[in-house]
Structure 1
Amino acid sequence: MNETDITRQQKTTASTCKVCGESAQYSYYGAIVCRSCKVFFRRNILKKSTPLRCDYDGNCEININNRRICTYCRLTKCFAVGMTSDLIRGPQTAKHRKAESRSSTVTALARINEASLIPTVNLLRADQSTLSVDQWNQISNIVHCFDTYSGFAFVENFVKEQDTLPLKSRFKYSSVSNFFTSVMTSVQLVFEKNRDFLSLSAHDRNTLLHHTVEYTTGVGVASMLCQVQLFANPSFFNSAELIFRPPAVASFVRLIDQLDPDVSVVKLMCAILSFMTSRYTTYSSTVTANLSDVIAVIRIQDMYGDLVWRYLLYKYNYRDAVLRFFNLIKCFFLINDSIAEAYETRKYADMINSIIESTEETGTCQN
C-alpha cells in the first residue's frame, strides 16, 4: 500500500462486502467492503466531475453482478453503509487533508443530490423525448431480467477457478468449450423469462427460438466477455479459435470491441434481437416455420427499438444518440458475420442445437 492510499484497513474475519455482496476481509474507509468498492469509492470521492444521476430514480439494487451499472446508487450505498472520505489520506498536511476531505465529501454528495434535477432540465432545454413511467419500468425489467438470469456470476467464477490452476492447465479446450455451452444456455434463459416473449403463442415462441438463438446468445455472451476481458488471455483466445475457427473468433472480437460501453443499451439490444423476424441465410434441408402472428412480433420489436432510442435521447445529446443507435446497427451486421463464420464448424452447430433442445425440454415454448 503506497503513501497516497492509506485506508486505515482493519483485518476482519471472512465476510461480505456491505455494498455489493462480494467476499471481503478488510474494513476500508469505515466499512467492510471488497477491494473493488474501495477503489470505486476513493476514485469518485477524489473526482471533480459533473453531478451523477440515476436512470431509475435511485432505486437500483447494487450487487456483484450489476455494481458497475449505476455510479449514483453505488456511491450512495457506500455512504449509507458508513464509508467516509475522512479516512482517505494522502501526502498533504493534516490541516489541508481535513479540509480537502470535507471538500471531497461535499462534492461527492452534491453530485448525488443534484442528480435528480439535471435530466429534467436537460430534456426541457433540448426538447428531447421523455420516457413514461411504464417505459422506465420496461427498461428496468429488461435490465433486471438480464442481470438475474444471464449467468454473469458463472462467468466470474469460471475466471476465478481458472486463475487458481497452474498456467499450463488454464483455459484448455474442453473447459473453454464447456464454458461457452453453459454461458450460452444461461443467456438464452433471459429471453425465455421475458414477459413479451411469454405473451406470444407457443408456435411463435418456438419459431423465434429457432430464428434468434444465435443472435441473443452471441450478443449476450459478448457483453459479459467484454466486462471480464477474457479474450485478452492468449490461452483462452487460442482455445476459442480451435473451437470456432480463427475467422469466427476475429468477427466475435470485433463485435465485442464495437459494443456500446453503456451496458443497459446492450441489454436492450439483446431484447430487440430476441424478436427479430429476419435472419442470415443458410442452406438447410429443414423447412423453417413462419410466424403465425408476425404483426404482434414486429410490434414488440418496434416497441423495444423505440425504448432504445428514447433512452439514448434521455441520457445523451441528440448527436451522440444518433451515433450510438447507428453503432447498434453496425453490431447487428457484425454478429451476422460472426454467426456465419461459426457455422462453418460442427461444434457451434452442436452448441446451438443443444440450447434449442434444452429450451424445448423446459416447456417454455409449449402451451
Structure 2
Amino acid sequence: MASAEKKSSNSRKDLICTVCGAPATGFNFAVITCMCCKAFFRRNALFGLSSLQCRYLSEKCSINIKTRRDCSYCRLKKCFDVGMKKELILTDESKRIKREKILANRQMTLNLIRPVDTFDIKRNSPVKPDHSANIANIYNAFEDYCFQPLVKFDRYEFEFVSQQPVKSRIKLQHYYQYYMTHEASLTDFFKRVPELRKFPEDQQMVLCKHNMRFLIRMSLMETRDPDLPLWPAINLLIETIFGKSLLEESDNLLRNFKEEIRDSKCIRLLLIIFLFSTHSSYNGHLDTLAIYDIQTKYTELLWAYYSEIYDYSVVCERFSTIVRHCLHLQRIGRDAEAKREELQRTRLCLESE
C-alpha cells in the first residue's frame, strides 16, 4: 500500500502541463495543466478569443513556462487547442450553491468536533445587539453602494474596452474613469458611517481621499469578479505603467488575502477601520485623537465579531494574518507610487527637451 501511494505521488510529479510545459497538478477542465494555466483559463475562457488580441499580431506566439504571460490571446488559443472546455467552468449560481454547501459542511464539522470549553471567549465578550445591527448596516451599505454598482461597471467596461484596438485600451482616460468610479462608490459607502457624518463636509472629503488608493485596492477583494483580470478594463494599461511583476504581486496578494479571510463582513469592517487611519506624515486639520478613538471602536467591533465565531487563539491568528497582508498591500502601494512618480519625472524631462 505504501509503495502504491509512493508510485501515485511520483506519477503526479511527472505530469506536465499541456499548455505551457510546467509541472502539472492534474486534470483541469478536461486537460492536464498546471495551476497557473487553470486559473488563467477560468478567468478568460468565458469571454472567448474575441475579447483579446495577440500582443505581436501574429497569433502564433510560442507558449511555454517562460513566455506564457507574454500573450494572453495565444495562451488562451492554445488552451482551447489542447482541449480545455469552458463548459466545465462553474457559473456564478453553481459557485454560490457549491460555496453554501462547503460552508454548511464546515459548520457541521465544527459543531461535531469543537469542545464546549472553546466557547469561553464567546461568553466573555459577546457582540451586543446594537453591534450586530452596526455590522449588518455596514455590510448592506457596501452591497448597495459598492458591490452591485462596481461589479456591473467592471464587467461593462471590460466588455467595451476588449473590443477596442490595443492602442485604445491603454489610454489614460480609462484609468481616470476607473479610479473616479471606484472612488465615488467608496465615498458614497463611507458617508453612510455615522461617525464620519459628524465631521464637517470638507473634513469628510479629506478623510475619504487621503487613503483612497489603499482602500480601493483592499475593496477589490469584495468587488472583483474572479473570472476577470484584477483591473478588468485597464489591466493592460496598469501592466504598461507599473510592470507585470507588480501587477501579478497585487493579484496574488489579494487572492491569498481573500482566501485566508473568507469573510465579507470582516473585509468591509476593515475598510471602515482604515478609513479612520492617519499615517505619521499626515498634516491635515483634523482631530487625530478623535479619529483614533473611532478607529479603535471599529477594531474592537471586529475583535468582538470574531470572538463570537472563534476561540481566542484563532482570533489572534486572524488579526495577525490581517496585519501581515495589510503591510504587504501598503508596500505594494508605495512601490506603485514610486513607479508613478518616476514616470511623471520622465515625461517632464521629455517635454522639456
* 2:128 is aligned with 1:137: no
1: CA distance, partners of 2:312 / 2:343: 39
Which residue is 1:329 aligned to?
323
Question: Compared with structure 1, are the counterparts of its residues 201 and 251 closer, same or farther at alpha carbon in structure 2 (3 Å cutoff)?
Answer: farther
Give the aligned CA root-mean-square deviation in angstroms. Answer: 4.2
Contact 1:184/1:221 (<8 A) preserved: no
Q: How does 1:285-296 map to 2 (within 5 A)?
A: 288-291=283-286, 293-296=287-290
1:271-291 CA-to-partner distances (Å, cap 9, x unmatched) read 000000225x5xxxxx93232
Percent of aligned positions with the same letter in both sequences? 15
Contact 2:169/2:236 (<8 A) preserved: no
Which residue is 1:49 aligned to?
105
Contact 2:306/2:315 (<8 A) preserved: yes
Deviates more, 1:246-255 or 1:324-333: 246-255
Shift of 1:300: 0.7
Which residue is 1:256 aligned to?
254
Between Structure 1 and Structure 2, how many residues are aligned? Answer: 247
| More helix, by proportion | 2
Deviates more, 1:180-189 or 1:223-232: 223-232
1:31-73 CA-to-partner distances (Å, cap 9, x unmatched) read xxxx644664477579982557xxxxxxxxxxxxxxxxxxxxx
SS at match of 1:230: coil
1: CA distance, partners of 2:254 / 2:169: 22
1:282-322 CA-to-partner distances (Å, cap 9, x unmatched) read xxxxx93232x322211110011001111112123333221
Which residue is 1:300 aligned to?
294
Shift of 1:167: 6.7
Which residue is 1:277 aligned to?
278
Shift of 1:135: 0.8
2: CA distance, partners of 1:46 / 1:257: 19
2:275 is matched by which residue type in structure 1? S
Contact 1:269/1:328 (<8 A) preserved: no
Contact 2:120/2:311 (<8 A) preserved: no
Which residue is 1:172 aligned to?
169
1: CA distance, partners of 2:271 / 2:343: 20
Which residue is 2:237 aligned to?
239
Question: Compared with structure 1, are the counterparts of its residues 206 and 156 closer, same or farther at alpha carbon in structure 2 (3 Å cutoff)?
Answer: closer
TM-score w.r.t. length of structure 1 = 0.54
* 2:217 is aligned with 1:221: no
Which residue is 1:208 aligned to?
207
Q: Where does structure 1 lack aligned partners over 5 or more consecutive residues? A: 1-34, 53-110, 282-286, 350-367
Question: Compared with structure 1, are the counterparts of its residues 303 and 44 closer, same or farther at alpha carbon in structure 2 (3 Å cutoff)?
Answer: closer
TM-score w.r.t. length of structure 2 = 0.56
1:189 is matched by which residue type in structure 2? D
Question: Compared with structure 1, are the counterparts of its residues 162 and 217 closer, same or farther at alpha carbon in structure 2 (3 Å cutoff)?
Answer: closer
Which residue is 2:267 aligned to?
266
Contact 2:221/2:254 (<8 A) preserved: yes
Which residue is 1:187 aligned to?
186
